[in-house]
Homo-oligomer: A and B are copies of this chain.
Amino acid sequence: MKIIGVDLGGTFVKIGLVDSLTGKILKKSEIETKVDLGGDTVVKRISDEIKRLTENENYEAVGIGSPGSIDKENGIVKFSPNFPDWNNFPLGPKLSELINKKVYVENDANSFALGEKWFGAGKGKEHIIALTLGTGVGGGIISHNFLITGSTGIGGELGHVIINPNGPLCGCGNYGCLEAYASATAIVRMAKERRKKFPNSLIFQNENISAKVVFDAAKQNDRLALIIRDEVVEALAVAITGFIHTFNPEVIIIGGGVSKAGNILFEPLRKRVDELVMPSFKNTYEILQSPLVENAGILGAASIVLQRENL
């Protein structure tokens, strides 16, 4: 069966035609979102691109992973920081009307978790915690094979679990959320704040400081970079330990730009979580790097269809 996955971002929309059995992306395209043109135009542009991509192709349905708070029953974007004008915007129904196919909408962090379950490191698992470490920290929870979204559909905000009330200010207004430690934004902030104390750090040989720059410097044993790495690891370990004690998951999958740091992040993280979990939880879980990388968005979006239609 073929499915269209739409990874709706604030700047770009990635669209892929996915073989649901193999998880192979048969065709793929990327267009600008152009949020400024308004919701209807964005939907029209997506519809046009889907039509172009699926000429002479049959496909079953469309899954859209969108940032923000989603009314999944009705395919409505309730609100989204990336689309400030979309208040209760009926994204699913509007697109469905234009392409005459079923359209399922889900929050992008949740769809990342579904993508891992259907095509990634969570294949065959029924208990998955998925974290995306990007500009922010997103969370997706699959427990007993069920996507946990809560009573009004906005649960899974694992980036805004407070792990240290005396920690740094988070964008949400609280102190010490996971996001204030483990997002790319936080990592860059931690570097900049300490420039005076570590002026010779390799980090500052780069014009644009990014999480990648910090982890690359850590790989070269740069002192500041390792200090930051350790803080990120400690924060993630405390949060993940809480998720393990709460959900008793089979796997914690970490994706997003920061996860590309690889072993310099994952090895100390696994060690620290192993120290923190209670004895009965030892060896009940794995902490894995997302294998889907650049395709996580499209595959996640496609797997919304698989999860909802329970195929």
Contacts and interface: CB of A to CB of B under 8 A. Distances in A.
Interface of A: 69, 79, 126-127, 139, 141, 143-144, 146, 148-158, 160-166, 172-174, 234, 238, 241-242, 245-250, 276, 278, 280-281, 284-285
B152 A248 contact: yes
Nearest to A174: B276
A21 to B, nearest CB: 26
B151 A278 contact: no
5 nearest CB pairs, A to B: A150-B248, A155-B248, A161-B242, A157-B245, A127-B151
A80 to B, nearest CB: 11
Contact of A154 (B152, B166, B248): B248
A246 B161 contact: yes
Copies held by the complex: 2
Nearest to A276: B174
A166 B167 CA distance: 11
Contacts of A241: 162, 174
A153 B248 contact: yes
Contacts of A152: 248, 284
B146 A146 contact: yes
A78 to B, nearest CB: 8
A127 B156 CA distance: 13
Given A152-B248, A152-B284, A173-B278, 15 more contacts: A127-B151, A139-B246, A144-B149, A146-B146, A148-B247, A150-B247, A155-B248, A157-B245, A158-B246, A161-B242, A162-B163, A162-B276, A164-B165, A165-B238, A166-B166
Contact of A278 (B160, B165, B242, B245): B160
